[in-house]
Amino acid sequence: VSTLAFPLAWVAMEFLGARLSPFGSWGALGYTQHGNLPLMQLASVTGLWGIGFLIAWFAAVANWIWDRQFHWPAVRAGVLIYAGIWSAVMLAGGMRLTFAPKAPTVRMAGIGWPRGIIEPAEYLRVLAPDFSNAERQQIRNRFNRLYDAFFERSRREARAGAKIVVWPEANLMVLKENEGAFLERARRFAREHEIFLLMGIGALNPGAARPVDNKAVLVNPAGEMAFSYTKITAVPGLEARGVRGQGPLPVADTPYGRMTAALCFDLDFPPLIRQAGRAHADLLLVPANDWQAITELHQRMAEFRALENGVALFRVTLDGGTVGVAPYGRRIATMVAFTTRDNVIR
């Protein structure tokens, strides 16, 4: 019984941190087991915390054995209990993977950032206090070229059979006064090509107290707005200056199941993404934006949300890893923005 003190304390710390820390679940032990699919299945029952508990419990049991100088009669019961529980978890996880039902599939496409049109330093000028009217017209022209690039590559994927197209987080930068016209173009595009189009949009309002509205907007094949979701969380720093959404996560019933969406850093907060599971969502669409140093880690963290909530995950990232994941944690497709030319995943 004494070996339970450390894992219980550790998991309690991680559990509270995911709710109270501005960094959510960063650093949680369970993430280290990404790729161990049988063990990862435990997240569907206990969340990430059950995996962390088993890891911390192993350390406590090892220390307990050391304290008893490896005297087998004294440690036999404890070792067998831990080994039995670990084996049961791995066996159950393996069986879950083996007998997982085959679900129907749908062709999807993720459209990454088109290189060479506009750089982050240029569009961030919009937030500067001395942003001028002359610069406003220049940036509007750059944004129009950006829209053309996204629509053109999305048109290519729709003609190839994609039924759902996703754009990364805040890749569609639009001045607030032009947002209505842009959304009208998006509605016509989705209706013409009969697709679901989920756009990561950064609506910019120069001079406002909160000048950025970071959101995910879903347009259905009828050209209607299925939902518009504003990011609830904010990475500490510059992003905290943006508009904050109130939730809950949106849900839309479609021929391909119930769709929901969240944005990038939202997925670092398991309690928030639990809304997708409670809503019985089938597909979680995630526009995101990383940088090279955290690409693999942040992608792995996001994949655990699929297992925890029984949803398929499609995460499309500007600078980082893009991935499609089945509800049982198997990767269907991956792409890294730094090693691809077209920056499109199918």
Per residue in 247-256, pLDDT (tens digit) is 899 999 999 9
pLDDT at 283 (0 to 100): 96
Tens-digit pLDDT profile for residues 299-327 = 999 999 999 999 999 999 987 788 999 99
Tens-digit pLDDT profile for residues 145-172 = 989 999 999 999 999 999 999 999 988 8
Q: How far is CA 140 from CA 5, 126, 148, in A?
A: 59, 10, 12
Burial 203-226 (b: 16+ CB within 10 A, else e): bbbbeeeebbbbbbbbbbbebeeb
Q: Which of 31-35, 53-57, 260-264, 316-320 has the lowest mean pLDDT?
A: 316-320
For residues 134 and 302, what is the distance between their CA atoms, to the nearest angstrom? 41
pTM: 0.91
On the question of pLDDT at 192 being above 70, the answer is: yes
Q: 337 or 307, which is more confident?
A: 307
Tens-digit pLDDT profile for residues 107-121 = 999 998 887 777 777
For residues 247 and 239, what is the distance between their CA atoms, to the nearest angstrom? 18
Q: 126: pLDDT confidence band, cut at 50, 70 and 90? A: confident
